[in-house]
């Protein structure tokens, strides 16, 4: 069979290749703005942060960053304040994540049924997600205040008022309760979307086989939801481990550091004490911590050993 070769141009390049080359140049032109944006405003700061983590640098200083090798990372190794902040961050993730996912799953199962007002129910549950975390935190600051909603309810039932944000044992729990409420809506919607991808005929087959509701949930729903559950857990870990706004508004890291998460500590170190090097090193350790937890969550979600 004869093969028709493209007609070469004057420089010996085929016309199609020339066309592709022109398209490629225009394609390149179209991605330039986004590439510049990502490079300047995302990759650049990350790389600069990495450089700073090996430096001693105060923005007030005129001398600029001074390279000090791994000193910032070595400093963190023996820093009790950082160790405590890591432990608080870990505790915060662990005590918010399970109830958030479990309750959101229950709400998703509920709202996956057809009942009157289901649309309103779904919307109402999603509302907290669209309100900014700062605004939500301000509202909860009032809810937890001495004359706030929670204490008013307690007083109505004849119980004594509590200082929800003022005790070392209670402040992180109070912030966690708020965060669970805030995260429910988005998790519910994602899990609802996951539920609706589970084929109906699998349930029919399970029912034909005599499976009860619990068995259907274990054998059909959970395996069908696994990809979405994995996504939800991984994203929640990423968001929760970076907890800052709610801490800044509700407790400012107190009382006596009991709610100082790593992100809050980074803020203090960088912008209150002007130690950008140490703050950057903390940020990269936190990044490694989040990446590690996320990888474990994804591997467990995929049914592999962590």
Partner 1 sequence: MRRVRNVPTGVLAGCLAVSLVAACGGDTATDEGGGTLTVWFPGNSEAEMALVNETIVPAFEEETGADVEVTYVDWADMSPKLNTAFAAGTAPDVIGHGVAATADLAHNDRIEDLTPYVEELDAALREDMSAALPGGEISGNQYIIPLMMTLRMIVYSGADFEEAGLDPDAPPQSWEDVKAAAEQLTVREGDKITRAGLVVPSDPIGAQQAFGTFLWSNGGEFLDEDGTTVLMDSSEAVDALEYYVGLYQGSDAVDNTLGATWASSPDAQQPIATSQASMQLSNAGDIGKYQDAAPDRDLRLMMPPAFEGHEPRAFGGPANGLMINKDSSQKELAWDFIAYMIDPDINLDYAEALGALPVHASAVDSDYVSSNPELAKAVEALPANHPNPNVPGWVQMRDAMGQHLERALHGEVGAAEALERATAEVEKIVDAGS
Residues that bind partner 1 (CB under 8 A): 22, 25-26, 28-29, 32-33, 36, 58-62, 146, 160, 163, 165-168, 252, 254-257, 268, 271-274
Q: How far is CA 26 from the centre of its chain?
A: 36
> b/e for 137-158, b at 16 or more Cβ within 10 A?
bebbbebbeeebebbeeeeeee
SS3 of 136-179: HHHHHHHHCCCCCHHHHHHHHCCCCCCCCCCCCCCHHHHHHHHH
Q: How far is CA 57 from the centre of its chain?
A: 29
| CA distance linking residue 184 with residue 8, whole number of Å | 62
Residue 146 or 204: the one with the smaller Cβ distance to partner 1 is 146
Are 259 and 171 spatial neighbours (Cβ–Cβ below 8 Å)? Answer: yes
CB of 164 to partner 1, least distance (A): 10
Residue 163 or 226: the one with the smaller Cβ distance to partner 1 is 163
Residue 59 or 210: the one with the smaller Cβ distance to partner 1 is 59
- Give kind and range of the element (H or E) at residue 292: helix 276-301
CB of 161 to partner 1, least distance (A): 9
Residue 117, helix vs strand vs coil: coil
Q: Which two structure tokens, joined as six digits, stand for 229? A: 């559950």
CB of 64 to partner 1, least distance (A): 9
Residue 47 or 222: the one with the smaller Cβ distance to partner 1 is 47
Residue 13 or 218: the one with the smaller Cβ distance to partner 1 is 13
CB of 61 to partner 1, least distance (A): 6
CB of 62 to partner 1, least distance (A): 6
């Amino acid at each position: 069979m004869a093969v028709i070769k493209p007609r070469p141009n004057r420089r010996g390049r085929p016309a199609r290749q020339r066309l592709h080359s022109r398209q490629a140049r225009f394609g390149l032109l179209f991605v330039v703005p986004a590439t510049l944006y990502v490079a300047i405003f995302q990759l650049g700061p990350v790389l600069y942060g990495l450089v700073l983590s090996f430096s001693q640098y105060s923005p007030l200083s005129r001398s600029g960053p001074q390279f000090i090798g791994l000193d910032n990372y070595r400093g963190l190794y023996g820093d009790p304040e950082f160790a405590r902040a890591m432990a608080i961050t870990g505790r915060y993730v662990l005590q918010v994540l399970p109830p958030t996912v479990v309750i959101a799953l229950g709400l998703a199962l509920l709202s996956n049924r057809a009942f009157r007002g289901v649309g309103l129910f779904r919307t109402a549950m999603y509302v907290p997600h669209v309100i900014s975390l700062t605004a939500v935190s301000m509202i909860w600051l009032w809810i937890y205040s001495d004359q706030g909603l929670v204490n008013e309810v307690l007083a109505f039932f004849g119980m004594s008022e509590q200082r929800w944000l003022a005790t070392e044992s209670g402040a992180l729990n109070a912030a966690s309760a708020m965060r669970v409420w805030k995260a429910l809506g988005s998790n519910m919607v994602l899990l609802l979307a996951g539920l609706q991808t589970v084929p109906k005929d699998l349930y029919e087959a399970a029912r034909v086989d005599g499976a009860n509701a619990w068995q259907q949930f274990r054998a059909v729903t959970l395996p069908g939801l696994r990809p979405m559950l994995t996504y939800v857990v991984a994203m929640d870990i990423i968001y929760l481990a970076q907890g800052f706004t709610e801490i800044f508004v509700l407790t400012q890291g107190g009382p006596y550091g009991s709610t100082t998460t790593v992100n809050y500590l980074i803020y203090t170190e960088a912008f209150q004490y002007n130690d950008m090097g140490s703050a950057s090193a903390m940020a990269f350790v936190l990044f490694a911590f989040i990446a590690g937890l996320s990888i474990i969550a994804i591997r467990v979600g995929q049914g592999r050993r962590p």
